[in-house]
A and B are shown apart, each in its own frame.
Chain A
């Protein structure tokens, strides 16, 4: 027993894909733990407040209503289709940006627990994603109310630009129909991506503390570069524009646009390009591959770095 202590290792090195998968698998299995932690975060945030997490709903409603009214006047767009657009966009964006900004802080903010309790890292990533999902769920109430109010306008063909469906210039949207159900797989893809983003950025940000600052400064810019408060329809012909804007292909390079699209478009009966789905699925695969490599190499280092 004593003789060979130096040359045989009883466990394989901690850097293996098996260990990375084990972490993710056992993390996923402990639903009660991350579910509880995620809920606890929401409850704590609105502790002692009477309205509680419904402040989320109210905030979302006020912002969307205010900006919706303002921008519809600025751009000269019809309120009954533009307001649902902006509300839905805000909810989806809120989830995306929340998962990015809080996801990269996942391990840093759980430092105490990581150093105190042995648990898979995935627990903390799921805690973050689950919290964001719950927040999005509260915001969905605003969506339901707005869409109920404007349903007549949304349930038939419409263009966000007035004449899109009659002249053939610009985007003509089919209106809400059964394709609304595809928002569910759309959100599932989004959540899957939130998973890898949280794990990967979380690990990297724990090591390099400049990364969160960098991303924070970029996220605001990304918000304006993604069609959320402005409709992408504006870049197509129509409303006095001769042809398609040179900016359109650039905006379509923004992957966040496609992620917003796969959830938002079906929810408000808008036209969606198959390209958006392809981009989203492609990024899911590439992203998880990268995240697995990061998890394989640096999973065991996180508790040293926090």
Chain B
């Protein structure tokens, strides 16, 4: 059984090399998590009191300004950060895709990268070698896979990373923003594959600034603001709250048509009618009891 269960989770980063004095001024800043200054070492409270329960079939969109804690929350869900307070329990095989420039040795080839990523995701070398042709075809990188990673553009790196995670059938797929770096034609391909994957695998958590992508892949959303959960519920309501307007006003006709097939209920039912029905069973976070 695939599940995510985060309760009252806090993530506090100690920043050892920052001068407290200058950091204090930033407490008033609007961007980024809250910076505490009680202790000697300045602390960035990147996540505060986050509650999130997800189970099979949930597709969560994460929205919020830069520095609102989206990536930190994704890392928490991936098991990279363990909460400083509270708890986070994730059951299932997680495949995260984070900022793609970092981590991998830029001198290694695309092939090499596929293998290493696969090994990290729990596959064996042999299993990955079997998938290489498939990944090469999907990413359209072809012979370029033999080139060192430093020669790749951002979009090509995204292709590579997506190629790997979509080929291994993860149970929990975690995507950070950055997907926007690929071109439209590849995006169409990737979207189909992601949808397919979401149908099969358990949980998708996706941080993005693109309404269209979120509308197509997700059905619920969480709005992060200064490290806290501002709102959690049905995708359309949260996006409306976050952007201040209904997301459907701005999407292209083409997308609307596609959505019409994929998520008929999203369009058919009026937004206020379904607001509470789904939000309550998936979210403890919106309950005012925990707010502080």
23 A–B pairs (Cβ distance < 8 Å), ordered by A: A1-B284, A5-B7, A6-B7, A9-B86, A11-B87, A14-B82, A33-B119, A36-B115, A36-B119, A40-B108, A40-B116, A113-B104, A115-B75, A115-B102, A116-B96, A116-B98, A116-B99, A117-B80, A117-B120, A118-B79, A118-B80, A303-B75, A303-B81
A44 at the interface (CB under 8 A from B): yes
Q: How far is the CA of A303 from the CA of B75 in the complex (A)?
A: 10
Smallest Cβ-Cβ distance to A304: which chain B residue:
B13
Smallest Cβ-Cβ distance to B103: which chain A residue:
A112
Interface size (A, Cβ < 8 Å)? 29
Main secondary structure of the interface of B (DSSP, over half): mixed
Shortest CB distance A305–B (Å)? 8
Residues of A within 8 A of B (CB): 1-2, 5-6, 8-11, 14, 30, 32-33, 36-37, 40, 44, 47, 112-119, 300, 303-305
Contacts of A114 in B (CB 8 A): 80
Contacts of A6 in B (CB 8 A): 7-8, 290
Asked, given contacts A5-B8, A47-B107, whether A37 binds B89 with beta carbons under 8 Å apart, the answer is: no
Shortest CB distance A48–B (Å)? 10
B7-41: which have CB < 8 Å to A?
7-8, 13-14, 16
Q: Are B51 and A11 in contact (CB under 8 A)?
A: no
B105 at the interface (CB under 8 A from A): yes
Q: Are A9 and B104 in contact (CB under 8 A)?
A: no
B212 at the interface (CB under 8 A from A): no
Q: Are B7 and A303 in contact (CB under 8 A)?
A: no
Q: How far is the CA of A78 from the CA of B105 in the complex (A)?
A: 47
Contacts of A118 in B (CB 8 A): 78-80, 94, 96
Q: Are B125 and A36 in contact (CB under 8 A)?
A: yes
B287 at the interface (CB under 8 A from A): yes
B124 at the interface (CB under 8 A from A): yes
Contacts of B121 in A (CB 8 A): 117
Contacts of A304 in B (CB 8 A): 13-14, 81, 84
Contacts of B289 in A (CB 8 A): 2
Q: Are B125 and A10 in contact (CB under 8 A)?
A: no
Contacts of B89 in A (CB 8 A): 10-11
Residues of B within 8 A of A (CB): 5, 7-8, 13-14, 16, 51, 53, 75, 78-82, 84, 86-89, 94, 96, 98-99, 102-105, 107-108, 112, 115-117, 119-121, 124-125, 284, 287, 289-290
Q: How far is the CA of A116 from the CA of B108 in the complex (A)?
A: 17
Shortest CB distance B255–A (Å)? 31
Contacts of A8 in B (CB 8 A): 7
Shortest CB distance A41–B (Å)? 9
Contacts of B5 in A (CB 8 A): 10
Q: Choose among B16, B105, B119, B284 the residue that contacts A5 (Cβ–Cβ < 8 A).
A: B284
Q: Choose among B96, B107, B290 the residue that contacts A117 (Cβ–Cβ < 8 A).
A: B96
Shortest CB distance A294–B (Å)? 16
Shortest CB distance B237–A (Å)? 19
Q: Are B284 and A117 in contact (CB under 8 A)?
A: no
Smallest Cβ-Cβ distance to A4: which chain B residue:
B7
Shortest CB distance B144–A (Å)? 18
Contacts of B103 in A (CB 8 A): 112-113, 115-117
Contacts of A30 in B (CB 8 A): 119
Contacts of B86 in A (CB 8 A): 9
Shortest CB distance A128–B (Å)? 15
Q: Are A2 and B102 in contact (CB under 8 A)?
A: no
Asked, given contacts A9-B7, A118-B78, whether A32 binds B124 with beta carbons under 8 Å apart, the answer is: yes
**Minimum-distance CB pairs A-B, first 7:** A112-B103, A118-B79, A300-B82, A116-B103, A112-B102, A33-B119, A9-B87
